[in-house]
């Protein structure tokens, strides 16, 4: 193990926090869908990738400025969310879990193939209108892309927390998540809120696609970010927005520390391995996560 170095550790920690917040943004899309519709979206990474492709593609083909690209990505993902809910997910309501899981896995394959067919296989860049110089913060410096990504995540996480607690639509969505039958009896149009949930996941994925695309570049490898969603949401609890933030922070910090200290020993790849190890432990000890609701099954 390399010698303990305060600066290095601090760098890993702050970097982990930033990355963790960005994970939380993607995990939020997953949580929104699970919270409202009880469906597991295995295509969350592909959503993010697809949004990145839309934004990068708009900049490349039409030369659109950044804000137009971002709006296009958000609009496109909302439309995609609505369409997918109608065509794929709605017929599967009430079917076993594996059907929904498999459908989103199929969806992931379709999105990955379509994105490359439509936009080409090369890696693209999304350039945000921000300076490139690292931002100094005490003893460490931070890349501006990560800072912007983390800020966007925080704003949206706060926004969605408010949305679920206070707004009429948000309360209706919580009611739907709690019990579809009771919600129907109260005059809530359950299907409409299912569609809303997918559209909202689309918005979040669009933002995730832009910030992650700006950081990593846009190609079909961007979808691999989605693999980090599972540790994040399992740690935090599948149906908790706060859980997504905490889970994201834990995964971000742990994987950065692990990568910083263990990668030289085992030859790389710790980043992809440690979050899942952590997740397995949580699954064994407390499957519903830190903030998740414990489900009581009645016979």
Q: Is the dihedral of CA 205, 210, 213, 218 positive or negative?
A: positive
Rounded alpha-carbon distances, angstroms, from residue 71 to 59, 88, 152, 249, 267: 12, 25, 15, 28, 41
For residue 99, state whether it binds another protein (rule: CB under 8 A). Answer: yes
As measured in angstroms, the least distance from the Cβ of 68 to another protein is 27
For residue 95, state whether it binds another protein (rule: CB under 8 A). Answer: yes
Nearer to another protein, 117 or 185 (CB): 117
For residue 113, state whether it binds another protein (rule: CB under 8 A). Answer: yes
Nearer to another protein, 61 or 67 (CB): 61
For residue 296, state whether it binds another protein (rule: CB under 8 A). Answer: no
The binder of another protein chosen from 197, 200, 279, 291 (CB under 8 A): 279
Residue whose pair of structure tokens reads 């209108």 in the numeric block: 129
Quote the tokens at residue 128: 């945000």
Displacement of CA 255 from its chain's centroid (Å): 17
Instruction: Considering only CA atoms, give the Rg of the chain.
Output: 19
The binder of another protein chosen from 88, 173, 195, 200 (CB under 8 A): 88
**Site track 41-70 with another protein (rule: CB under 8 A), x = hit:** ------------------------------
Per CB under 8 A, the segment of 1-9, 75-83, 163-171, 264-272 that binds another protein is 264-272
Binders of another protein among 207-236, rule CB under 8 A?
Answer: 227, 230-231, 234
Is the separation of the CB atoms in 84 and 249 below 8 Å?
no
Kindly write down the DSSP assignment for every residue of 36-89, as one continuous string. HH----TTHHHHHHHHHHHHHHHHHHH---HHHHHHHHHHHHHHHHHHHIIIII
Going by C-alpha positions, the residue among 218, 211, 275, 287 that lies closest to residue 29 is 211
Rounded alpha-carbon distances, angstroms, from residue 212 to 26, 86, 129, 209: 9, 28, 15, 5
The binder of another protein chosen from 5, 65, 79, 102 (CB under 8 A): 102
Give the Cβ contact number of residue 223 at 10 Å.
21
The binder of another protein chosen from 8, 66, 261, 276 (CB under 8 A): 276
For residue 266, state whether it binds another protein (rule: CB under 8 A). Answer: yes
Residues binding another protein (CB under 8 A)? 40, 88, 91-92, 95-99, 101-103, 105-114, 116-117, 120-121, 227, 230-231, 234, 238, 266-267, 269, 272-273, 276-277, 279-280, 283-284, 287, 297, 299
């Amino acid at each position: 193990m390399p010698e303990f170095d305060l600066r290095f550790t601090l760098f890993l920690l702050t970097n982990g926090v930033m990355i963790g917040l960005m994970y939380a943004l993607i995990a939020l899309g997953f949580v929104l869908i699970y919270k409202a519709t009880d469906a597991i979206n295995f295509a969350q990474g592909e959503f993010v990738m697809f949004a990145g492709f839309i934004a990068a593609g708009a900049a490349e083909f039409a030369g659109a400025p950044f804000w137009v690209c971002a709006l296009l990505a958000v609009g496109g993902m909302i439309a995609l969310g609505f369409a997918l809910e109608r065509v794929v997910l709605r017929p599967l309501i009430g079917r076993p879990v594996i059907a929904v899981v498999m459908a989103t896995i199929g969806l992931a394959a379709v999105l990955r193939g379509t994105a490359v067919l439509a936009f080409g296989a090369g890696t693209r860049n999304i350039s945000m209108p921000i300076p490139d110089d690292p931002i100094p913060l005490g003893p460490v410096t931070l890349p501006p892309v990560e800072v912007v990504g983390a800020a966007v995540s925080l704003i949206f996480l706060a926004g969605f927390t408010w949305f679920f607690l206070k707004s009429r639509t948000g309360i209706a969505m919580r009611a739907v998540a709690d019990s579809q039958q009771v919600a129907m009896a109260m005059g809530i149009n359950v299907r409409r809120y299912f569609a809303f949930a997918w559209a909202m996941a689309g918005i979040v994925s669009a933002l995730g696609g832009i910030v992650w695309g700006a950081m990593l570049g846009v190609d079909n490898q961007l979808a691999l970010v989605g693999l980090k969603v599972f540790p994040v949401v399992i740690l935090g609890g599948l149906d908790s927005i706060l859980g997504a933030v905490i889970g994201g922070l834990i995964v971000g910090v742990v994987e950065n520390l692990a990568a910083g200290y263990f990668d030289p020993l085992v030859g790389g790849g710790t980043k992809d391995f440690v979050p899942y190890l952590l997740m397995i432990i949580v699954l064994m000890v407390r499957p519903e996560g830190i903030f998740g609701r414990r489900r009581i099954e009645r016979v």
